[in-house]
Amino acid sequence: MKSISVVVPTYRRAQSLPALIAAFEAQTLPADDFEVVVADDASPDETPAVLQDLAAGARITLKIVRNARNGGPASARNLGWRAAEGPLVAFSDDDCVPSPQWLEAGVAAFENSAPGIVQGCTLPDPSVPEKAWAKTLRIERFSNLYESCNIFYRREVLEAAGGFDETIRVPFGEDTALGWESRRRGTTATFAPDAIVYHSVTHPGARYWWKYAMMHRNFPMLVRRFPEMRKDLLWLRLFMWRDRAVFDAALAGVAGGIVWPPAFALVLPYLYLRAPRRFHREEIKAALSKTAMDPAIFAGLLVGSVRERTLVL
């Protein structure tokens, strides 16, 4: 039996799969100790053919499973880990590339303590510059969000929690729900800084960023289901992050200043927060992009708060 299984859901990213499998073949953990399970979520492109070719020539144990119809990332991950054999299950995504020591560091974190969950470090792909509107991830400490781009579970934890919540079809929160459900059941978690995964850096258009902002409507749903998140995750038990509180205060200042001008002073902390520290072109563009996203994220949180009757700002 393998000591650990890796599960990667994929959908319409055939071009990224060869590099991903090559990164697994370069792991410092001996190839006999792990398997990789790629769960194709009914991709309509050439993904099945690419996976078949990769499996035929792989220098590691590579299993391919496939959903009959597209069910979302939670469904694909569940299909993958249930087809895996390892007592430990590592998850990553098809837009990530693990560092060579990823699996070895993740397994070591379980050996040195007794957690049920280990979160690894996720960094932007260093080969691609991060310009304004860059889409990527940076997770350098335990996040309390249990992002599935880089996380390890004991199999019995997955089984006890029932796996990922397949009712959450939007890819935003299904991994967080699993982590908090496991935590509610007494599972402990730790962070492994040396278990590094590199996340792709892309620069999508405005349509994607609007969809991303509206995905935040899932956060109030999560807080309604797991009220303990208010204490351990939210800032002042109400705001997603401290930056959100600064933006909301600025909104209140603009609205209140119309009636009582001194209220406009509430805008000043936000201006300081978003002002570029140097007047370089990329820093100015980055500041403008963050400023544009703030009201969009507020709209997503507000929609979710109304829908769930649970206020998260």
Mean pLDDT split into 10-residue runs, the chain, 313 residues: 95 96 98 98 96 96 96 96 98 97 97 90 92 89 97 98 92 93 97 98 90 94 97 96 96 95 96 88 86 95 97 97
Q: Which of 203, 225, 250 is the last residue of a domain?
A: 203
199 with 245, same domain?
Answer: no
Q: Which of 167, 185, 203 is the last residue of a domain?
A: 203
226 with 284, same domain?
Answer: yes
Which pLDDT does position 277 carry in this prediction? 80
Integer Cα distance of 79 and 66 in angstroms = 8
Q: Which of 173, 203, 233 is the last residue of a domain?
A: 203
222 with 196, same domain?
Answer: no
161 with 150, same domain?
Answer: yes
State how many domains the chain has.
Answer: 2
Integer Cα distance of 240 and 243 in angstroms = 8
122 with 185, same domain?
Answer: yes
Q: Taking a C-beta distance cutoff of 8 angstroms, is the pair 29, 35 a contact?
A: no
30 with 153, same domain?
Answer: yes
What residues make up the domain containing 229? 205-313
Which pLDDT does position 278 carry in this prediction? 80
137 with 267, same domain?
Answer: no
- Please name the amino acid found at residue 211: K
Q: Taking a C-beta distance cutoff of 8 angstroms, is the pair 293, 206 a contact?
A: no
95 with 180, same domain?
Answer: yes
Which pLDDT does position 258 carry in this prediction? 94
User: In this structure, what are the phi and psi dihedrals at residue 269, rounded to the nearest 5 degrees?
Assistant: -60, -35
84 with 232, same domain?
Answer: no
CATH number of the domain enclosing 114? 3.90.550.10
107 with 22, same domain?
Answer: yes
Which pLDDT does position 131 carry in this prediction? 79
99 with 219, same domain?
Answer: no
Which pLDDT does position 63 carry in this prediction? 98
- In 3D space, the residue among 178, 168, 172, 138 whose CA is nearest the CA of residue 297 turns out to be 172
43 with 77, same domain?
Answer: yes
Which pLDDT does position 169 carry in this prediction? 79
Residues 6+ apart with CB under 8 A from 67: 39, 40, 41, 42, 75, 76, 79
**pTM score of the predicted model:** 0.94
Integer Cα distance of 312 and 240 in angstroms = 7
Residues 6+ apart with CB under 8 A from 128: 200, 201
